Structure 1
Amino acid sequence: MVDDEPFEGDDQQYSPTRLSGWLQEVNGPDRVKPECLTRGQLADLSPRELLRHNDRRAVWHANIGPIQTPQLRALHEDLAAIVESNRHDGDKAKPAALVDAYPGLGKSTAVRDYGRRFYREQVALRGETTVAGHRRVPVIYIALTGNTQIRGLNAAICRFYGLPTSGDADTLAERAVDAVLSLKTAVFIIDDVHFLAGSHSNSVRMANQLKYLSNVFPVTLIHVGVGVQRRGLLREGFSPEEALLAQFGRRTTPLTLRPFQIEDEAGRREWRTLLKTIERQLVLAEKCPGMLADDLPDYLYARSTGHFASLMALINRGCLRAIRSGHERLDPELMNQVKNDAAAEESRQELAAAIEAGLLTTRPTHPTQRKQTA
């Protein structure tokens, strides 16, 4: 390697809420895991080569996943049952899905991963272009904001397709319908849908708009949000004004993504399997078998409260600190220097105390043994 050779790094900057970015997520090549060098090999690198190697490791650790956890696989199966059975003709509204779960469980990542897989399957089955010669776009992804209204939702759809966003809500909807029909879109993933349900009146307006989308667009709507059911969107109406909510509830199947739990043997085995899977992905010179699953299972559960996003942020930041400090491994001494999100840190002391008192444990009674490799 030439030291003065240009180096852009492995970062991939794109927005999946734009067609160009979504295509990069769907069709982009899988990342190549950096070589795991020994301390001696690291010492043999030139200063610039070491900077580049560490930069590649930082990007790799920040983008581990999606990991095929039991939760993710179960969600994908439920989504497939809804999406792939929605072969209704255009005169019939297609039932929708609502993935409603606590923050930090990886629901957006899991749903986008399903969308990516479904997109690839449809292109493999039907071809990259339609009969009319348009690009085939089986799935689109949009994310809402805190002040999204009906026009804003239609504008987000148009913006994804690269269409003009001028005009009123009806004009934008007509543009979007034309794009859906031309590009053969079958699935809308609408993330952060709870932003449309901030109050009772907004819940009714959201139900009205999403019902309109299901009537006009021949697609399956996959809504992703936090506490949407709690806000009353799927409940039966208690007054004539709330009848729309009841109708929306009849058309929508609620799904969720559960956190990891350690109250039973099955949950503890799941946690151990997850840590072993993550451990194999880490690129640290002093990594050893069992570094996470045997040495840190209780610690990592207490620090993450079983939430996937909190766990991955903690490990990512821990790896960065291990690389920068030259420690090259994860252990309690190093991890205690790593800050995590506020929700995880708030629950940390209580969980750690319960584990230390023997009231909780992440360790299975009979852990599966790691297979020896030649």
Structure 2
Amino acid sequence: MNTAYSLSRKQGWRRFTDTPARVRPERLSAAAVARLAPAERARHNEARHNWHANFGTIATPQLKEVREELELIVASNRQDSDRVRGAAVIDGFPGLGKTTTANLFARDFDRAARLLDGETTAEGDERIPVFRVGLTSNTTLRTLNRMICEFYGHPGAAHGTAAQLATFALDCVLKCDTRVGIIDDVHFISQNSRDGLAVSNHLKWLANELPVTFIYAGVGLTERRFFDEGLSGESTALAQTARRWTRLEVATFKQDDSWTVLIKAIEKQLVLTKARPGRLVALDGYLFERTGGHIGSLITLVTRGCFKAITTGTEALTWELLQTIRIDEAAERSRQRRAAECRRRGKKKEGNQ
């Protein structure tokens, strides 16, 4: 069965919004797994692999806070079409769940809008409450318009000038009664290049012309001076972006109770025969050391660890097993720096005694 789909196409987005939640596989004892016929055991393990890779999003405090802000911004944007709606931008370091937060909010908004207003508009067109596109490092004004048209499957998406594609995009939004637009990876826009500045200005044009609430997501936008639009000095006061966008920051975890609560929530999702309550929580300090509080790195470590635990017969996330798992390079490098800092502190403490 082909499970691949793209959220940058309406068919993929609809599949994302309408697919029911996964059913958690039954947690069997080691003896019960051993009694399964080879084919049954293979299917059981395959179901567990899929579950551990897709067991859903943990409602972290950061996610809840950003979601509440998004609900407020979108729900209060009831201005008539001749007025500009405020936008939301989810900002933060990589691997903290910015894209996931935007997608999950938009999924629920999409479901609620179609439930309330129906699957078709008053004119009989397909109702598409949300469109979503992801930018690339070479996005131009024309490619941005084309990506919006491609989401809707507009027949003219492959042709036309930037202006024509912008008109097609506007028509799609109006006909399909779209009310939220997700634009991901806006950090790829360079305010200091001609194409980047054109795209940035075009985003403001889209906000003026399209009766939707835009939700942007990007990495380190404040540090990139994205809200200043490349301006400096007194000119920054002229930047429209900073006046129109509400910045919502997704922060890293600290090694406190919220981190422990997250580990407990993840532990409850594990379908391993030798998993025991509290075993993963006992490693919360180690897990923080490995990931630096980045939930993306943590989920990668857990997912790969679960796969190896099943395939090797370990059937538990132990310190020894997790030590054999490599994750993203940023996490590995920061772990080395933290370890080196701890060693320096230890030597300094010994020298003062």
| TM-score (normalizing by structure 1) | 0.87
Question: Which of the numbers 264, 269, 275 marks the counterpart of 1:287?
Answer: 275
**1:234 offset after TM fit, Å?**
1.1
Q: Which residue of 2 aligns with 1:193?
A: 186
SS at match of 1:260: coil
Counterpart contact for 2:191–2:226, Cα < 8 Å: no
**1:92 offset after TM fit, Å?**
0.7
Distance 1:78 1:357 in 2: 42
Counterpart contact for 1:304–1:344, Cα < 8 Å: yes
Distance 1:323 1:339 in 2: 17
**1:56 offset after TM fit, Å?**
1.0
Question: Which of the numbers 115, 122, 130 marks the counterpart of 2:113?
Answer: 122
Aligned-partner residue type, residue 201 of structure 2: N
Q: Relative to total residues, which structure has the larger helix share, 1 or 2? A: 2
Work out the number of aligned pairs and report it.
343
Distance 2:94 2:246 in 1: 20
Change (3 A) 1:114 1:233: same
Change (3 A) 1:214 1:244: farther
Counterpart contact for 1:108–1:191, Cα < 8 Å: yes
Q: Which residue of 2 aligns with 1:97?
A: 88
Counterpart contact for 1:154–1:173, Cα < 8 Å: yes
Q: Which residue of 2 aligns with 1:329?
A: 316
Q: Which residue of 2 aligns with 1:3?
A: none
Distance 2:16 2:206 in 1: 25
Q: Deviations over 1:310-356 (max 9, x none)?
A: 00000000000000000000111111111111010111134356779
Aligned-partner residue type, residue 307 of structure 1: H
Counterpart contact for 1:207–1:244, Cα < 8 Å: no
**1:197 offset after TM fit, Å?**
2.0
Matched, 1:77 2:77: no
Counterpart contact for 1:203–1:231, Cα < 8 Å: no
Where does structure 1 lack aligned partners over 5 or more consecutive residues?
A: 1-7, 263-267, 360-374
Alignment map for 1:1-374 (pairs within 5 Å): 8=1, 12-163=3-154, 164-165=156-157, 166-197=159-190, 199-235=192-228, 237-238=231-232, 246-262=239-255, 268-293=256-281, 295-352=282-339
**1:232 offset after TM fit, Å?**
2.0
Counterpart contact for 1:100–1:226, Cα < 8 Å: yes
Q: Deviations over 1:278-298 (max 9, x none)?
A: 1111110001001211x2111
Change (3 A) 1:198 1:249: closer
Change (3 A) 1:127 1:247: same
Change (3 A) 1:250 1:339: same
Aligned-partner residue type, residue 283 of structure 1: V
Q: Give the stretch that moved more between structures: 137-146 or 318-327.
A: 137-146
Change (3 A) 1:305 1:291: same
Distance 1:358 1:319 in 2: 34
Distance 2:31 2:344 in 1: 42
Aligned-partner residue type, residue 96 of structure 1: A
Change (3 A) 1:278 1:356: farther
SS at match of 2:250: coil
Distance 2:217 2:177 in 1: 22
| TM-score (normalizing by structure 2) | 0.92
Counterpart contact for 1:207–1:245, Cα < 8 Å: no
SS at match of 2:169: helix
**1:231 offset after TM fit, Å?**
2.0
Distance 1:198 1:57 in 2: 45
Counterpart contact for 1:299–1:352, Cα < 8 Å: no
Distance 2:148 2:39 in 1: 44
Where does structure 2 lack aligned partners over 5 or more consecutive residues?
A: 347-353
Aligned-partner residue type, residue 106 of structure 1: G
Counterpart contact for 2:191–2:200, Cα < 8 Å: no
Distance 2:309 2:138 in 1: 41
Counterpart contact for 1:298–1:355, Cα < 8 Å: no
Aligned-partner residue type, residue 304 of structure 1: T
Change (3 A) 1:354 1:108: same
Change (3 A) 1:216 1:181: same
RMSD: 2.1
Q: Which residue of 2 aligns with 1:367?
A: none
Change (3 A) 1:114 1:348: same
